[in-house]
Amino acid sequence: MCGYAAPKLDVVRIGFIGLGQRGPGHMMNMTRVEGAQVAAVCDIRPEYAQRAKARAEKRGHHPEVYAGSNDIWKKVCERDDIDAIYIATPWDLHTPVALYAMEHGKHAFIEVPAAVTLDECWQLVETSERTKKHCMMLENDCYGFFQLLTLNMARQGFFGDVIHCEGAYIHNLLHLNFDKEGYWNMWRLKQNARRNGNLYPTHGLGPLCQIMDINRGDKLEYLSSMSGEDYMMAAKAKALGATDDFFKPFIGKAYRGDMNSSFIRTHSGRTIMVQHDVSSPNVYTRIHKVVGTKGTAMEFPEPGWISDGGERWLTGDERKAVEDKYQPPIVKRVGELAKQIGGHGGKDFILDWRVIDCLRNGLPLDEDVYDAAMLSCISPLSEWSVANRSRPVKIPDFTCGSWKRNKPVDIKLEQGGNTQIMM
C-alpha cells in the first residue's frame, strides 16, 4: 500500500464517526474543500450529532444523522454512497471501526493513535492490503509549518545525513483528563489508569520518521522505554474523590508515570528520543529536533531554531533566507488560507485538504497504513519495555521488507494541488 493510488474520486463522500474533541473540526474543514461532501455524522450522543449536522448545513451540506447506540457507526460504514470514513472516537474503537469500514469498501482515516495493541496494528495492515483501501492515521503534525519546512530542508540536503532526532508530546492535560465533560465516559482517564508507557507518541515521532525515511529507506529497529513514578494523577484522583463520589472509583489506580522517555535505534544506526508527559505542570513542547551532519533545527521554544552547522542559531536575514529558500510547495499553495481557517494554527486544514486533493487526483497518500501501524505500535511496545525494566524490544517491520525500495515522502505538488478552497 506504500505508493498505492486508489481510483480517482470526483466527489469524496465522507461519514464522520465521533464528534467530540476532534471530529467536528475535520468535518468543518471538509465543508471548505472542493469535492468533499459531508454525507453522514455519527456519535453515541444524539445532541452532538445534531449539533454537527446543524453546523454542516450552514455550509451547504446535508448529512444524515446516526446516534444513540453503541454500534450505530456500523450503519454509516454499510452505506453504499459513502467513500471514506473519518474516525475520531475513543482509542479503543479506532481499529474496530477502521476494519469494518475497509471491509465495507471505504477508505479509513483514523485519529491518532490508529491502534492500541500490536495485534490491531497487524489487522490494519492486512485488511488494507487485502481490500486495497487506504488506511491513514491523521497525524496532523506531519502538516505543521515547521515540520513541512524541515521535511523540505531534509529533502534538499540542508541537514546532510540526518543522524539523530527528538520529539515529544509534553502538554499539561491533567485537568482535562479529570474533567467530567472533557472526554466521553472519561475514556482518556481510563487509558491513563491502566497503561504505563508512551501512550501518545505519534505527534512527536510522525514528522521525524518522514524526515528520516522510516519505512522508505530505513526502518525502526528496537526501542527501550522508561517511565518515572506518578506524582500527579493518583493525587488528583484522591483530592477530587474526597469531595465528589464520582471520582472515588479512580482512587488507588496504578496510573502511568508522569514522564516517559523512549529511545529508538534505526536499522541504519540513527537514534530517536520521544517523550510523553501530559500530567505535570511542564512547559508545552513537541521538541521536533533534527540533527544532521551539516545542520540542525528545533521547533521549540517557538518560533523554532535553525543552524547551518555552526555553533549558533541563525537569526534575522540569515534565518529568513533559509525559510524563503526551503518553503515547501504545499505551504505556498494553501498555507495562508489554512492559517485563516485555523485548527492548530492551520495544520489540521492542510491535512484535510491534502487528503481530498490526493483522492480527487488518484495520488498516493503521504501517510499509509504501514506508517499508521509503525507509529501506533510504539505505545504497546513501550508498555512492555517499561514493565520489564526498560529492556529493549524489537519493532516489527510492517512493510515486510518493502522499506528497502519504498520511495521517501516528498510533497512537491508536481501532481495534484488543484483542489480549490472555499472560504
Question: For position 174, which CATH number holds?
Answer: 3.30.360.10
Q: What is the pLDDT of residues 315-374, one digit of tens each?
A: 999 999 999 999 999 999 999 999 999 999 999 999 999 999 999 999 999 999 999 999
User: What residues contact residue 128 under an 8 Å CB cut-off, 6+ apart?
Assistant: 1, 102, 108, 134, 135, 368, 369
Same domain, 312 and 210: yes
CB atoms within 10 A of CB 10: 7
pLDDT at 276 over 90: yes
Same domain, 200 and 295: yes
Same domain, 150 and 94: no
CA distance 30 to 353: 8
Q: Give the range of the structural domain holding residue 131, as residue numbers without chain letter.
A: 12-140
Domain count, the chain: 2
230 in a structural domain: yes
Q: What percent of the chain has pLDDT over 70?
A: 100
CA distance 420 to 418: 6
Same domain, 127 and 147: no
342 in a structural domain: no
Question: Average pLDDT in the 244-265 region?
Answer: 98
Question: Average pLDDT in the 44-59 region?
Answer: 98
pLDDT band at 50 (very low <50, low <70, confident <90, very high): very high
Best CA proximity match to 350, nearest among 340, 338, 360: 338
Question: Average pLDDT in the 238-261 region?
Answer: 98
Same domain, 211 and 252: yes
Tell me the backbone φ, ψ of residue 108, rounded to 5 degrees.
Answer: -115, 125
CB atoms within 10 A of CB 407: 11
CA distance 40 to 269: 46
Same domain, 80 and 18: yes
Of the candidates 118, 140, 162, which is a domain's last residue?
A: 140
pLDDT at 310 over 90: no
Of 55-59, 207-211, 307-311, 382-386, where does mean pLDDT reach its minimum?
Answer: 307-311
pLDDT at 416 over 90: yes
Average pLDDT, the chain: 98
pLDDT band at 15 (very low <50, low <70, confident <90, very high): very high
Same domain, 201 and 112: no
Same domain, 204 and 295: yes
Question: Average pLDDT in the 95-107 region?
Answer: 98
Q: What is the pLDDT of residues 118-171, one digit of tens each?
A: 999 999 999 999 999 999 999 999 999 999 999 999 999 999 999 999 999 999
Q: For residue 200, count CB atoms less than 10 angstroms from its CB and return exposed for 0-12, middle for 13-18, buried for 19 or more.
A: buried
Same domain, 117 and 247: no
Best CA proximity match to 375, nearest among 199, 192, 205: 205
Same domain, 111 and 246: no
242 in a structural domain: yes
User: What residues contact residue 138 under an 8 Å CB cut-off, 6+ apart?
Assistant: 26, 86, 109, 110, 111, 112, 351
Question: Average pLDDT in the 5-11 region?
Answer: 98
Could you tell me the sign of the dihedral formed by the alpha carbons of 359, 418, 15, 137, in that order?
Answer: positive
**Nine-digit cell at 297?**
533545527
Same domain, 149 and 132: no
Same domain, 209 and 104: no
CA distance 180 to 178: 6
347 in a structural domain: no
Tell me the backbone φ, ψ of residue 337, rounded to 5 degrees.
Answer: -65, -40
